[in-house]
């Protein structure tokens, strides 16, 4: 999927849910990593809400700006993955900060899905096979989302 336009938050969540359903049975030898970039309010957290719901995450998805990292259990049946990590790199200065959060271990585990907001700030430590998702704020409720696998 190269690029889509959404007209409201629900549509963005639907795009995210569709992607989650396509990835849920993927078998890798490391974590599945989604790198999200785009300005504040572009829809990154909204996307992660839709993605998580499709995987059967039951907790409410909140922006991890202050906590930096949220861990959620995946309840979907027949999923390759059992844990979803939601990370916000907005306040991080470098990959070094991320190493302190135990990110290496998180990236190494094939049962993890990792969604990282502001991934462009820590590009150097992002795994090479990450799926990059860019959010463009076009108009008040209009967003362009590009997914590069």
Under the rule (CB under 6 A), what is the footprint of ligand ADP?
6-9, 11-12, 38, 40-46, 63, 117, 135, 141, 143
Residue with Cβ nearer ligand ADP (43 or 79): 43
Task: Establish if 44 lies at the interface with Mg ion (CB under 5 A).
Answer: yes
The CA-based angle 38-40-43, given to 5 degrees, is 65
Kindly tell me which of 2 and 29 has the beta carbon lying closer to ligand ADP. Answer: 2
8 binds, among ligand ADP, Mg ion, none (CB under 5 to 8 A by kind): ligand ADP
- Looking up tokens 């049962």 gives 111
Strand locations in 91-148 (E): 112-117, 131-137, 143-148
Q: What whole-number distance in Å separates Cα of residue 86 and Cα of residue 84?
A: 7
Sign of the CA dihedral 134, 45, 131, 2?
A: negative
Residue 53, H or E segment: helix 44-54
Closer Cβ to ligand ADP, 36 or 126, answer by number: 36
Q: CA distances (Å), 90 to each of 71, 83, 99, 100, in order?
A: 17, 22, 15, 15
Minimum CB distance to Mg ion smaller for 39 or for 105: 39
* Segment 88 to 117, residues that bind Mg ion, using CB under 5 A: 117
Residue of minimal Cβ distance to ligand ADP: 43
x/- binding map, residues 49-68, to Mg ion, per CB under 5 A?
Answer: --------------x-----
Residues found near Mg ion in the complex (CB under 5 A) = 44-45, 63, 117
């Amino acid at each position: 999927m190269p690029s889509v336009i959404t007209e409201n938050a629900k549509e963005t969540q639907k795009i995210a849910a569709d992607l989650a359903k396509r990835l849920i049975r993927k078998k890798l030898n490391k974590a599945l990593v989604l790198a999200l970039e785009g300005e504040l309010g572009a829809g990154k957290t909204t996307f992660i809400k839709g993605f998580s719901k499709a995987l059967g995450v039951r907790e409410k998805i909140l922006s991890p700006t202050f906590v930096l990292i949220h861990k959620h259990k995946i309840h979907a049946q027949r999923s390759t993955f059992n844990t979803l990590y939601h990370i916000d790199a907005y306040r991080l200065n470098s990959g070094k900060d991320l190493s302190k959060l135990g990110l290496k271990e998180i990236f190494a585990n094939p049962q993890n899905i990792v969604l990282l907001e502001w991934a462009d700030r820590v590009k150097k430590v992002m795994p090479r096979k990450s799926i990059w998702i860019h959010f463009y704020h076009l108009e008040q409720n209009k967003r362009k989302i590009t997914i590069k696998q």
